[in-house]
Amino acid sequence: MIEIAIMGHGVVGSGVAEVIINNHESITEHAKEKIDIKYILDLRDFDDLLYSSKFIKDFNIILEDPSVKVVVETMGGVNPAYDFVKKCLLAGKSVVTSNKELVAAYGAELLKIAKEKNVNFLFEASVGGGIPILRPLNQCLAANEVYDIAGILNGTTNFILTKMIKEQMSFDDALAIAQKLGYAEKNPAADVEGFDTCRKICILAALAFGKHVYPDNVHTEGITKITLEDVEYAASEKYVIKLIGRAAKTDNGKVQVWVAPALIPGESQLSTVDDVFNGIIVWGNAIGEVMFYGKGAGKLPTASAVVADVIDCVKHLNSRKYLYWEDSDGNNLECYKSGSTAMYVRLKGENAKTVTEEFYKAPKYLSRENQPFDEIAFITEALTVGEHNDIIESIKARGTEVLGAIRVF
Ligand code: HSE
């Protein structure tokens, strides 16, 4: 029997306990060992559970118990998760986490410690919730030179955008439902401002391209400026708006990483990824294009990925799964402004059309119901993001209001 501890009994941690208890037979079969939860660390009291006796409040009990071989971290946030995880790894315990903030901030350092201590540090649930993506990227696609990854990586924002697109629901109402369903982060700004997507694309980029990508170095836009009007203009040409994280190799061997909303054409597979689902496309030089799809947030889908990692740790208690990337000083990154894209632009002002035709070669105009006489929306030719930014500043300088500027995928 292998004893484990779970740190954090929130949405994901309680899901992990539930899956381990309910699926114990099939888990034992896969792990070839019985997995028993010895401790659950949480500062709150949970007196009415079948497993209430397992709760502790002192982390040192876990750290100092040599019978605990695998520790699950589902507390979220960097503090105290970083300190606890580091101490567990240094003590020779394998660690499984769902904590994308922790991995995006300290992944390189924690992987190095795990390597030195010959233990495992696994975090499949940190990207894509229940979707198997890190293990396939690391193992099944190992024969490829991966050169591009793009995905819808945040269930909360995708849920909100789907409600706006399909039900014309307001942003705030949709967010309130996502919070109730347990999809949103404690502070939902992390979802809607794009930080959560940023952490996940940083993890994917580090794994695919071998060097840590720090979130602070990644251009990140959220969805708070997207309006129902933008959704309607986009729909008139069969586009849907999704929050995208992208990491692509550039010709000079660097990696360009960004997070921003984008108009997705109806023919792209990403356009059909709705609600809390995530979709991630990986391009490799042997496989071509492959897409991963599934529930990106929520208690049991995320617990599914965590428990699979626990099983993997139990099966590899005396050996390491090869999962590794180096630290980086940021020189591996290419500025997002050099990337080329068409842009959806929405302008307001009596001279909107005149300035549009001054700055863009062949704008493709869009329309919506009850469109005000002084508002226009259009899709531009492909330019670099830097060129788009300059044009938008020039348009503003002419006194025209820029109501929206969104990439076209
Ligand atoms: N808040 C995250 C999301 C949870 O909505 O995707 C899963 O990482």
Q: Is 36 helix (H, G, I), strand (E, B) or coil?
A: strand
Using most ligand atoms within 8 A of CB, pick from 103, 124, 162, 185 the residue to mutate for ligand 1.
Answer: 185
Q: Which residues are catalytic?
A: 200
Q: Render pLDDT for 345-387 as a digit per residue (tens, 0 to 9).
A: 999 999 999 999 999 999 999 999 999 999 999 999 999 999 9
- Interval between CA 318 and ligand 1 midpoint (Å): 32
On average, the pLDDT of the chain sits at 97
Q: How far apart are CA 381 and CA 367, in angstroms?
A: 18
How many Å lie between the centroid of ligand 1 and the Cα of residue 116?
A: 31
Summarised one tens digit per residue, pLDDT across range 87-123 is: 999 999 999 999 999 999 999 999 999 999 999 999 9
- 81: three-class secondary structure by DSSP: helix
DSSP secondary structure code for residue 224 in this structure: T
| CA–centroid distance, residue 55 to ligand 1 (Å) | 26
In this predicted structure, the answer to whether residue 138 has a pLDDT above a threshold of 90 is yes
Cβ of 185 below 6 Å from ligand 1: yes
Please identify, by atom number, the ligand 1 atom nearest to the C-alpha of residue 98. Answer: 8
Report residue 401's pLDDT band, with 50, 70 and 90 as the boundaries. very high
pLDDT of residue 322: 81
* Percentage of the chain exceeding pLDDT 90: 98
User: Which tens digit of pLDDT belongs to each residue from 48-57?
Assistant: 999 999 999 9
- Residue among 162, 191, 306 whose CB has most ligand 1 atoms within 8 A, to mutate: 191
Please classify residue 406 by burial: count the beta carbons closer than 10 Å to its beta carbon, then call 0-12 exposed, 13-18 middle and 19+ buried.
Answer: buried
First to last CA, the chain: 50
* pLDDT of res. 325: 97
Within 10 A of 331 (CB to CB), how many other CB atoms are there?
A: 7
pLDDT band at 318 (very low <50, low <70, confident <90, very high): confident
- Cβ atoms 138, 219 nearer than 8 A: no
pLDDT at 180: 94
Confidence of residue 36 (pLDDT cuts 50, 70, 90): very high
Residue 321 confidence (pLDDT): 81
Taking the centre of ligand 1 as the mean of its atom positions, its distance from the CA of residue 157, in whole angstroms, is 9
User: Best of 153, 183, 197 to mutate for ligand 1, by most ligand atoms within 8 A of CB?
Assistant: 183
**Average confidence (pLDDT) over 233-258:** 97
The per-residue pLDDT for range 271-306, each reduced to its tens digit, is 999 999 999 999 999 999 999 999 999 999 999 999
Q: How far is CA 157 from the centre of its chain?
A: 11
pLDDT number for residue 252: 94
Among 187, 190, 162, smallest CA distance to 174 is for 162
CB count in 10 Å sphere of residue 253: 9
User: Does 249 have pLDDT greater than 90?
Assistant: yes
Q: Which helix (H) or strand (E) covers residue 95, if one does?
A: strand 94-97
